[in-house]
A and B are shown apart, each in its own frame.
Chain A
Amino acid sequence: MNPLAILLTLSAVLFALGLFAVLTRRNAILVLVGIELMLNAANLNFIGFWRYGPPDPQLTGPMFVLFGIAIAAAEAAVGLAIILMVFRHTRSTDLNAPDSLHG
């Protein structure tokens, strides 16, 4: 079987699982878990196309993954900081708990 097709299928299902977690979880931290899964699925595609595509001296795919990982780390840090901030006000990480903008 075509290895690139296997990789792309894996990536597609991973992305869908992440989306499912984002849509169904109510704990904000676990929503973040879903987002990480989706970012990882995108990275997998870049690696797959680099590995099984034509030779690329500019290494576009791997460089994109490298920067993507950095952005994902920053996003997780800010996301968790915001979640902890909300937790201070509402004493809960439930996404339905914050129902007012008053700080």
Chain B
Amino acid sequence: MISLLILAPLILLAALGAVWKARPVHAALLLALTLSLGGALYIALGAGFLGLVQFMVYVGAVAVLIVFALLITRPRDETEEIARRPKSVLPGLLCTLPLVAVLLYAVGRNVAEPAAEAKELPIERIGELLFTTHAPAVLAVAVLLTAVMLGAALFAREPKSFGVRRLASALGATEELGSPQSADKPAPAFQNPPTTK
């Protein structure tokens, strides 16, 4: 309860910074802070396993991915963002404030007083459930992650590479398709091609 009261304002402040900061890198780093504070909150609530998963997946992978994307795209100066901010804030508030009002009204109206006993997330039970009840879902997520990995790798290659042969060479099956000249040629370096426009 104490940790909740301490962490909740910190999370809100960090999230506010992530939303409001005009400089993109600052926003991304504050997102990482928000997510790691959220992981700390999970641990404080007794779901330590999920807190660690949050640290590893969100902070370790997603936030770093976003920072890398910012490094690659090199967004322009934040002056433009600040200049057009007065125009965008009002419609944004008009759309979000009613939502906040409805949600807070629903929360304030009827939340039962919860049971006071402490709970700890049983990790053994999670493993058991993952391999019995949720086994189909685990398989589906595995297929999804594989598809995402392949899709992202194909997206990251140069734009003209969406052929069967390129796909095969991306998967390392050049010999079977009979393209010996590309087998001994080194893979093209990771670089941006010249613009087509």
Contact = CB atoms under 8 A, between A and B. Distances in A.
Contacts of A89: 159, 195-197
Contacts of A24: 85, 88-89, 91-92
A16 B96 contact: yes
A26 B81 CA distance: 8
Interface of A is mostly: helix
B47 A47 contact: yes
Contacts, number: 219
Contacts of B53: 66, 69
B135 to A, nearest CB: 12
A33 B67 CA distance: 10
Nearest to A65: B50
Interface residues of A, number: 71
Nearest to B159: A88
Interface of B is mostly: helix
Q: B16, B65, B73: which has the most chain A beta carbons within 10 Å?
A: B73
Contacts of B121: 59, 62
Q: B8, B113, B121: which has the most chain A beta carbons within 10 Å?
A: B8
Interface string A36-53: 110010011001101111
Q: B15, B75, B84, B152: which has the most chain A beta carbons within 10 Å?
A: B15
Contacts of B112: 4
A16 B189 CA distance: 42
Contact of B75 (A20, A27, A37, A47): A27
Contacts of B152: 77-78, 80-81
A9 B9 CA distance: 11
A80 B65 contact: yes
Interface residues of B, number: 84
Contact of A40 (B38, B85, B133, B144): B38
Contacts of A32: 66
B131 interface: no
Contacts of B41: 44
Interface string B9-46: 00110011011000010011001001100100110011
Contact of B18 (A21, A53, A59, A74): A21
Given A21-B19, A40-B35, A2 B197 contact: no
Contacts of B193: 88
Interface string A1-44: 01111111110111111111101101101101110110010011
18 contacts: A7-B4, A9-B104, A14-B12, A20-B96, A26-B84, A26-B88, A32-B66, A33-B28, A33-B66, A36-B66, A50-B119, A52-B115, A59-B129, A65-B50, A66-B126, A76-B66, A80-B152, A90-B197
Given A29-B69, A47-B50, A87-B73, 5 more contacts: A3-B1, A17-B12, A24-B88, A78-B148, A88-B192
